[in-house]
A and B are shown apart, each in its own frame.
Chain A
Amino acid sequence: MSLELRGLSRRFDNAQALRDIALQVDGGEFVALLGPSGSGKTTLLRILAGLDFPDQGEVRIDGQDMAQVPARHRRIGFVFQHYALFRHMTVFENVAFGLRVRPRASRPPEAEIAARVRRLLERMQIAELERRLPEQISGGQRQRVALARALAIEPRLLLLDEPFGALDAEVRKGLRHWLRALHVELGLTSLFVTHDQDEAMELADRVAVMQAGRIVQFDTPARILDQPANGFVAGFIGQAQRFAGRLTSQELIFEGLPLAPLPRALLLGEAAAGAGQGPAEAFVRTHEWQATPGPGNAVLRSARAAGGRVQAVFAVGPALIEAEIPPGLLEPGETCQLDPLTARVFLADTPFATG
């Protein structure tokens, strides 16, 4: 299985949902579409499934253009955010649906349908629910039924729209690992939509970060963290705080804050390596600060222990800065000198800078 998107655009009445999307997914990959709500993730997923249609561009699966292929002939499994189970059918019948609607010639005999459905339900660890109706089972169980139903057609591509969105945090964690294991074990190719960066980073082989209808970066989680493509990605991923600044030939100057300038050699990002100068935005993560007790530019406002480190909030001039410090270093109310160790910097004229 291979999936290729080229120049995909979709416009709704008053909004451009997708702009010139290009994407290539290889067989066996687990890909996340990550972005804030309204960035076009779900629209893209629906176009892949054949539930919506692009104004321009093409979708190719294994080299075949999908434009004239209706949803029911695509063999693409779709798990809806709210599951969309058939309320009047039992769990068993829900899962069997995709097999029962096949044309007579390719429909498996009843005994085989039953065997396949049971095998799937066992695989999903919900074999005991087969006679229940969707309204009689919990959210996490419905999620598994929806997944089993989509897998029953042996899809060449599995699409999941916010697969954990409607579940509580506890269930969500468990299901994540389970889904990842299932993906590997069944040799699936999957795309899932999420607005939760932890989820995307933890689960996916590659993450497509979407902003306002575009894919601004498509890369492995590690590279997205290390080398965000622009200010939007840097700000969206990895708890970074955004600062306005100015890049000179020598250093980054933080504007309006009593923070020491950072020499160019310590900066990250393409802008730091290039020769560009001018207004810039800089992103510093919570662990990229150094606090030195004594008189200085910052006052510790509050501190909260978090796994061996302390999440601290400092008042620096008019701003509040979140930083990690070692335990016992400071008490609230004490002053210190707070310095950034590094920053990801993007010149303000970079396309799609945060708005």
Chain B
Amino acid sequence: MRQRSLPGFGASLGVTLVWLVGLVLLPLLALLLRPWELGPLGVWRSLAEPRVLAALRLSFLGALAASAAMLPLGLLVAWVLVRYRFPGRRLLDGVVDLPFALPTAVAGLALTALYAPNGWLGEPLAALGLKVAYTPLGVGLAMAFVGLPFIVRTVEPVLRDLPLEAEEAAATLGASRAQVIRRVVLPALAPALLAGFAMASARAIGEYGSVIFIAGNMPMVSEIAPLLIVVRLEQFDYAGAAAVGLAMLALSFLLLLALNLATRFWRRA
């Protein structure tokens, strides 16, 4: 092999591979293999149960909807943090990360207390006919809560690097503020927004702790797929649990692949 100017390639690649295989690939491989002790037909039956399909639908559609709803809000929070200087900005900056740092069960309990039918917000909302806790809406709310920081933190650095001069140039060329946002700012932020959306979705799909309390976990209505895995484990149905896990893995992979391709397409367009 040719002499390299940067030493240590062999050693560092070796360590990286060992860790990746041991920590990531091996567990995933186990997950891939486990369900098949039911046989292909068994796996199919195990996944085709209406309860499983409902849980998968709630986890994935809920995560996508919650992340999509958080896109404009995350962009706004990032915008405020980057573009304005005001007292309390650092505090706000820290608050954004709270969902990262909080133990998820604590977040779940707090959300439930707030939105339960007799909670601070749950009671007035119930009076308006809007039930949040123990419904799919509550599931989405918890997912939005954990997803928001991902969007803010991926958009923020890109927005900070966005030169103000490009916006000023657009203004001297006759663009209105709305045209500047639509034609200059948003296209520059699109890849970051998409990446933030992908991360928020991935986190929300797998979210367990903060969701199960507010969800109420009624089968067919507000039961998420990760909970179903736990339910099956408690019934010693290890292969069945792994089958749900396998389905989540496959769907997540397809989702991230699609988002990745979309980002790449966007960069080129």
Interface residues of A (CB under 8 A from B): 49-51, 70-78, 80, 82, 84-89, 97-98, 101-102, 149-150, 152-153
Contacts and interface: CB of A to CB of B under 8 A. Distances in A.
A72 B174 contact: yes
Interface of B: 163, 165-166, 168-176, 179, 183-184, 187-188
* Chain A contact surface mostly: loop
Nearest to B169: A84
B184 A86 contact: yes
Contacts of B175: 72, 97, 101
A149 B168 CA distance: 13
Contacts of B172: 49-51, 71-72, 74, 76-78, 150
A74 B173 CA distance: 9
B59 to A, nearest CB: 34
Contact of B165 (A80, A88, A101): A80
A86 B168 CA distance: 11
Contact of A98 (B165, B166, B173): B173
Contacts of A82: 163, 165
Given A72-B176, A101-B179, A88 B187 contact: yes
Contacts, number: 68
Given A101-B176, A101-B183, A84 B171 contact: no
Q: Which 5 A-B pairs have the closest CB atoms?
A: A84-B165, A98-B173, A101-B175, A84-B169, A78-B172
Contact of A86 (B166, B176, B179): B166
B183 A71 contact: no
A87 B165 CA distance: 12
A164 to B, nearest CB: 17
Q: Which of A74, A86, A152 has the most CB of B within 10 A?
A: A86
Nearest to A79: B169
Among B163, B165, B176, max chain A CB count under 10 A is at B165
B190 to A, nearest CB: 8
A5 to B, nearest CB: 18
B171 A149 contact: no
B188 A97 contact: no
B168 A84 contact: yes
A72 B171 contact: yes
Contact of B166 (A71, A72, A74, A84): A84
